[in-house]
A and B are shown apart, each in its own frame.
Chain A
Amino acid sequence: MKHVYGWLLLTPAAILLIAFTHYPAAATLFDSFFSTGTVVRPSRFVGLANYAALLDDPIFWQVLRNNLAFALGTIPTSIALALLMAIWVNDKLPARALVRMSYFTPTILPMVAVANLWLFFYTPQIGLLDKVGAMFGAPSHNWLGDPHTVMSCLAVMTVWKEAGFFMIFYLAALQSLPPEIEEAAKIEGASRWYFFRRVTFPLLMPTTLFVLVNATINSFKLVDHLFILTKGGPDNASSLLLYYIYQVAFSFFDTAYASTLTVVLLALLAGLAIVQFQQIEKRVHYR
């Protein structure tokens, strides 16, 4: 009887998980072994042909490189910035609530709205960036139209958007640290930097792990801005893996290849998560 009760409690969550997470994942894997079917040409089993095509697809390799560059460009910076901001607004400073709120504001804006804002920051000549630059005599630059700068532009915008969100977690963690430790450190004569390096930062490790996992997932998950800002261009210079999957699925209607790409993305994310948990768990002190 107890068993039945337990299973009944589990059922709603289980149904949702199976219907919207596990079944689609399994179906995606299954579809990746078939060709894309149309009414004229029905789908058929092709084995690993889709994966072979993927290895030969230069755009796939380019978006993968782009995605890694995007992750490296956004994750460390946004985490460092989040930590810095959290420590800053954790102190007693005037108008603390206002400062906290202003750091958090970018987070509550939808990504599409943010992208529309930044589109006008980056627009040559009439954009904010060029207007400020012009005051100092800098020449106008085609920020999003230049393959060498477009990725950095997207990274800066993402850091701006994300750092405030991660700050909240650090802020909560900082406030849960017992004040006695700091008092003890002061009595022992530890410098602020020494205290941060040897006490605060290690104690924040669980938060850092959480933030790191989230930031990594986000760097693969966030593509809304591409629809507004660059559509992956110029010449795929700013395209990301998930955006490419969207293009393949809904612009090319190649569902089989889109499934194949999705499987790769899933495997990549699962792999990253495992590495993160294993490596960092060793250095995390849970209390």
Chain B
Amino acid sequence: MRSIFAIVTAALIGLAQAAWADTEVTFYYPIAVGGPLTKVIDGYAADFEKSNPGVKVKPIYAGNYDDARIKALAALKAGQPAQISVLFSIDIYELLEQDVIMAWDDVATSADDKAWIKSFYPALMLNGTYKNKVYGIPFQRSTIVMYWNKDAFKEAGLDPNKPPANWDEMTRMAGKLVKKDASGNVQRWGVEVPSTGYAYWMFQAFARQNGQDLMNRDGNQTNYANPDVIAALQYWRDLGAKYKVMPEGTVEWGTLRQAFTEGKTAIMWHTTGNLTAVRDQAKFPFGVAMLPAAKQRGSPTGGGNFYLFKKTTPEERKAALAFVKFMTAPERAADWSMATGYVATSPAAYDTPKLKDYAAGFPPALVARDQFQYATPELSTFQTGRVRKLLDDAIQASLTGQKQPADALKAAQAEADKLLKPYR
């Protein structure tokens, strides 16, 4: 893989030297889902160069989101040019504090450009916007959806085409879906929600469904100790501790998909990024639905955005803008969505013939899009790593029964207040 990459890079450098007065756009990007996606990206870059002579694009694969952020920031510090990068949508405050990014609005000034910025789903713009300026253009984005096993529903005497629409239904149905053997050991759980990797992200869904967001739009205030937020965590804990429909303790993010495809849990909450894998592995008919509602439906968005770095010349900015517009055009967004399982970022992408055909043959591909109207931005504040970990720890302490949800969340809020005070 690396050698192919080296050849591609060498070829690009060679091309760059052959032509003269080229503008070069270097960008780092992470890949967080499976598949040979570096090839897809390289293909897009080559297509762009064909239609834009005079601009050379150099994509650099940089590992997962953490690696990509570290590498891009290190490259900037070392004075190596990178004009744009795909980084975690929630890195925005960190990048602002490092003062390395600039707003797209400052570059995208023509009427056409302004229309382009408005062409995305509004839910996807929330994480990329700070003080009414757009810093992140959505590229690889996801949400949480509910997968359910239709065979298990049938076996439990439930309608296999009717997933739970609210918390009460989910509790009741999950109770029926739990299957035990003769000696009372659980063979199949009713529902599982992962709580190791991205506990805060899953919890945002519960909190949003109970009517609350976890942070403000300026990224300097969290809302962990709100009574409705505490009730949301209590419900998550109760699924295991009280209703006995979910395993007690934490549920591993990485193995949950296997547990579902092997029929060990009838319902799971997971990222849309798993859609293609579940489709390939499940030997039973399964459905994909929006997450259930309490006071309302709700799910956070997730994934990566395009950022524009400050240390760039006007020509480079122009070329970068053209490239990002190319990458997010409806045709390409549709193609990227089918290749990865990420949601396409604009309504226009869902109107393209190829994505329409794909969705007609595989309706679950549309669920994430339909859920956007209930979406909330992913948890992101100043000092985001620490503030997020406070919540992760509080969730895990509650789920494992070490602390009461109210105590854990109040303590986390107090700590978060200390961290965020300087930013108010």
Q: Is the CB of A39 within 8 A of B385?
A: no
B169 lies within 8 A of chain A by Cβ = no
Chain A residue at minimal CB-CB distance from B387: A252
B396 cross-chain contacts in A, Cβ below 8 A: 233-235
A253 lies within 8 A of chain B by Cβ = yes
Q: Would you list which residues of chain B between 59 and 110 have a CB under 8 Å from chain A?
A: 66, 70, 94, 97-100
| 1/0 contact string of A44-57 vs chain B (CB within 8 Å) | 00000000000000
Q: Is the CB of A144 within 8 A of B94?
A: no
Q: Is the CB of A139 within 8 A of B66?
A: no
Chain A residue at minimal CB-CB distance from B247: A142
A234 cross-chain contacts in B, Cβ below 8 A: 195-196, 249-250, 396-397, 399-400, 402
A125 lies within 8 A of chain B by Cβ = yes
| 1/0 contact string of A220-247 vs chain B (CB within 8 Å) | 0000000010110111110000000001
Q: Is the CB of B259 within 8 A of A126?
A: yes
Q: Is the CB of A146 within 8 A of B249?
A: yes
With A134-B185, A140-B186 already in contact, the answer to whether A233 and B259 are too (CB < 8 A) is: no
Q: Is the CB of B397 within 8 A of A235?
A: yes
Query: Which among A234, A252, A254 has the highest number of chain B CB atoms within 10 Å?
Result: A234
A279 lies within 8 A of chain B by Cβ = no
Distance to closest chain B CB from A139 (angstroms): 5
Distance to closest chain A CB from B59 (angstroms): 23
B400 cross-chain contacts in A, Cβ below 8 A: 145-147, 234-235, 237
Measured CA separation A88–B7 after assembly (Å): 51
A157 cross-chain contacts in B, Cβ below 8 A: none
B389 cross-chain contacts in A, Cβ below 8 A: 247, 251-252
With A235-B393, A235-B397 already in contact, the answer to whether A123 and B402 are too (CB < 8 A) is: no
A194 lies within 8 A of chain B by Cβ = no
Q: Is the CB of B397 within 8 A of A38?
A: no
B159 lies within 8 A of chain A by Cβ = no
B247 cross-chain contacts in A, Cβ below 8 A: 124, 140, 142, 145
Q: Is the CB of A119 within 8 A of B196?
A: no
A38 cross-chain contacts in B, Cβ below 8 A: 97-99
B394 cross-chain contacts in A, Cβ below 8 A: 235
Q: Is the CB of A123 within 8 A of B259?
A: yes
Measured CA separation A233–B394 after assembly (Å): 11
Measured CA separation A165–B368 after assembly (Å): 49
With A125-B264, A146-B400 already in contact, the answer to whether A230 and B385 are too (CB < 8 A) is: no
With A123-B255, A139-B185 already in contact, the answer to whether A230 and B98 are too (CB < 8 A) is: no
| 1/0 contact string of B184-225 vs chain A (CB within 8 Å) | 111100000001110100000000000000000000000000
B154 lies within 8 A of chain A by Cβ = no
Chain B residue at minimal CB-CB distance from A143: B249
Measured CA separation A128–B173 after assembly (Å): 29
B24 lies within 8 A of chain A by Cβ = no
| 1/0 contact string of A128-149 vs chain B (CB within 8 Å) | 0000001001111010111100
Chain A residue at minimal CB-CB distance from B264: A125
B195 cross-chain contacts in A, Cβ below 8 A: 145, 234
Distance to closest chain A CB from B143 (angstroms): 22
B252 lies within 8 A of chain A by Cβ = yes
Q: Is the CB of A40 within 8 A of B252?
A: no
B403 cross-chain contacts in A, Cβ below 8 A: 235
B393 cross-chain contacts in A, Cβ below 8 A: 233, 235-236
Query: Which among B66, B383, B393, B402 has the highest number of chain A CB atoms within 10 Å?
Result: B393
Contact of B251 among A39, A137, A145 (CB under 8 A): A145
B51 lies within 8 A of chain A by Cβ = no
| 1/0 contact string of B235-256 vs chain A (CB within 8 Å) | 0000000000001111110110
Q: Is the CB of A253 within 8 A of B94?
A: yes
Measured CA separation A63–B51 after assembly (Å): 55
Contact of A231 among B98, B184, B197, B402 (CB under 8 A): B197
Q: Is the CB of A142 within 8 A of B248?
A: yes
Q: Is the CB of B66 within 8 A of A137?
A: no
Measured CA separation A82–B18 after assembly (Å): 61
Q: Is the CB of B97 within 8 A of A39?
A: yes
A201 lies within 8 A of chain B by Cβ = no
Query: Which among B98, B183, B187, B389 has the highest number of chain A CB atoms within 10 Å?
Result: B389
Q: Would you list which residues of chain A between 229 and 287 have a CB under 8 Å from chain B?
A: 230-231, 233-237, 247, 250-254
| 1/0 contact string of A106-129 vs chain B (CB within 8 Å) | 000000000000011001111100
B392 lies within 8 A of chain A by Cβ = yes
Q: Is the CB of B385 within 8 A of A145?
A: no
B383 cross-chain contacts in A, Cβ below 8 A: 252
B386 lies within 8 A of chain A by Cβ = yes
Contact of B264 among A39, A126, A235, A254 (CB under 8 A): A126
A137 cross-chain contacts in B, Cβ below 8 A: 183, 185
Measured CA separation A120–B259 after assembly (Å): 11
Q: Is the CB of B196 within 8 A of A230?
A: yes
B98 cross-chain contacts in A, Cβ below 8 A: 38-39
A250 cross-chain contacts in B, Cβ below 8 A: 66, 70
Measured CA separation A253–B389 after assembly (Å): 13
Measured CA separation A166–B382 after assembly (Å): 46
B264 cross-chain contacts in A, Cβ below 8 A: 125-126
Distance to closest chain A CB from B28 (angstroms): 16
Distance to closest chain A CB from B180 (angstroms): 10
| 21 intermolecular pairs with C-beta atoms under 8 Å apart | A38-B99, A39-B97, A39-B99, A39-B100, A125-B264, A126-B258, A127-B255, A140-B185, A145-B196, A145-B247, A145-B250, A145-B399, A145-B400, A146-B400, A147-B402, A228-B254, A234-B195, A234-B397, A252-B386, A252-B389, A253-B385
5 tightest CB-CB pairs across the interface, nearest first? A145-B249, A39-B99, A234-B396, A145-B250, A252-B385
Apart from the given pairs A126-B264, A250-B70, 8 other A-B contacts in the complex at a CB distance below 8 Å: A38-B97, A123-B255, A134-B185, A138-B185, A145-B250, A145-B252, A235-B400, A253-B94
